[in-house]
Amino acid sequence: MGVVHLATSGSGLKLAVKIVHAEHAVDPEFRARFRQEVAAARQVSGAFTAPVVDADPDAERPWMATLFIDAPTLAERVRERVLDPAELARLAAGLAEALRDIHRVGVVHRDLKPSNVLMAPDGVRVIDFGISRPADSDLRTETGKLIGTPPYMAPEQFQRPREVGSAADVFALGAVLVHAATGHGPFDSDSHYLVAYQVVHAEPDLSGLPERLVPVVARCLAKDPADRPTAEQLIAEMRAVAYRTSEDTQAFVAPPRRPVEEVTHARERIPVAEPAGARPGRRRARAVVAASVGLLLAGGAVGGYLRFGAGGGAPGQDAGEA
């Protein structure tokens, strides 16, 4: 569907620039989905995602530039070795917080999977909102087209795809944790059709999960969306699992706060951004990024390093060309 290039901005920022292939740029449905991906990524960019630097979904070749995060995906990490219990608990807590931030702005990711999770040193990042949508979106995809990745899709994504809500992401979180702990999902088969049947009708295989995670993951993988916890509810549970305390744990005492007057005076010394009506810096920044994209489209010096596949799925790991 397109290619992702590694680029550098004029200020030295490393960027991941996603550019849609020309043959898909003329597809109105694909353009609508890409436009929605950009909107979703802009809303949730923050501590748990890759921030959007700039984008132009209406260009002849739509593109989006995000901050490049130099980290392996969870899929790559698990190919080397599965996560130990401590790593798994921290992953669970981080993903719960990430989903909380995504759902808080009314977005449903719909394709949370190991290749869409970056294992950055300072915490996980959820990427690729290619098939995400607002919970109240009227955007429709082609009749009969399967949107998602079967081993991580919730039952309702197969049965009632137009009624998918945030609970589907919680189901995917449970499946991702099983994969991280065991190297395979809770519904495992070489056939996507059999996986789909298992997701809808069979009980998940939770063998290999640390015992303390089994109850919460089982709730995430409930068949009925109403029986799954929300991301907000998961946070306290996952944090309790990830950061257990004991009787001899030293209490953390925060340093005393600075006086209000001192904080106020310090803030007054911080330069204030110019009003929205006069933003030459922003225009210059966009011009630099747009110029970089122009070079990429013309076959510039930086080659494509990741392809992104059908349905706006996660980037693959094979080198590609625009």
| DSSP state letters, 46-95 | STTS--EEEEETTSSS-EEEEE-----BHHHHHHH-PPPHHHHHHHHHHH
Cα radius of gyration rounded to whole Å, the chain = 21
pLDDT at 181 over 70: yes
Q: What is the pLDDT of residue 143?
A: 44
User: Strand 117-120 vs strand 304-308: parallel, antiparallel, or unpaired?
Assistant: unpaired
What are the pLDDT digits (tens) for 35-77? Answer: 888 888 888 867 889 888 999 999 999 999 999 999 999 999 9
Q: What is the pLDDT of residue 263?
A: 43
Q: What is the pLDDT of residue 225?
A: 97
| ∠ Cα 241 245 247 (to 5°) | 150
pLDDT at 204 over 50: yes
101 a catalytic residue: no
Assign 130 a pLDDT band (cuts: 50, 70, 90). low
CB 223 within 8 A of CB 168: no
Q: What is the pLDDT of residue 312?
A: 39
CA distance 127 to 201: 29
Assign 259 a pLDDT band (cuts: 50, 70, 90). low
For residue 315, the 8-state DSSP code is B
CATH topology of domain 2-69+282-312: Phosphorylase Kinase; domain 1 (3.30.200)
| Active-site residue, selected from the candidate residues 111, 188, 224, 248 | 111
Assign 126 a pLDDT band (cuts: 50, 70, 90). very high
The least confident of 128-137, 172-181, 231-240 is: 128-137
Residues 214-232, mean pLDDT to the nearest whole number: 97
DSSP-assigned beta bridge partners for residue 2: 20, 308
DSSP-assigned beta bridge partners for residue 308: 2, 315
Q: What is the pLDDT of residue 244?
A: 63
CATH topology of domain 74-136+146-242: Transferase(Phosphotransferase); domain 1 (1.10.510)
CB 63 within 8 A of CB 20: yes
Two tokens, residue 269: 């010394």
Does residue 69 or residue 265 have the better pLDDT?
69
User: Strand 304-308 vs strand 133-134: parallel, antiparallel, or unpaired?
Assistant: unpaired
Residues 3-17, mean pLDDT to the nearest whole number: 90
Q: What is the pLDDT of residue 274?
A: 44
Residues 225-234, mean pLDDT to the nearest whole number: 96
User: What average pLDDT does the structure give for the chain?
Assistant: 78
The full set of domain ranges for the chain reads: 2-69+282-312, 74-136+146-242
Q: Give yes or no on whether 2-69+282-312 and 74-136+146-242 have one common fold.
A: no
Distance (Å) of CA 117 to CA 68, 159, 215: 14, 26, 23
pLDDT at 183 over 80: yes
* Nearest of 146, 143, 97 to residue 117 by alpha carbon: 97
* Nearest of 23, 18, 24, 22 to residue 38 by alpha carbon: 18
Assign 129 a pLDDT band (cuts: 50, 70, 90). confident
Greatest Cα pair distance, the chain, in angstroms, is: 65
Q: How many residues does the chain have?
A: 322
pLDDT at 254 over 50: no
Assign 209 a pLDDT band (cuts: 50, 70, 90). very high
What are the pLDDT digits (tens) for 140-162? Answer: 444 445 678 999 999 999 998 88
The least confident of 82-96, 102-116, 263-277 is: 263-277
Residues 182-209, mean pLDDT to the nearest whole number: 95
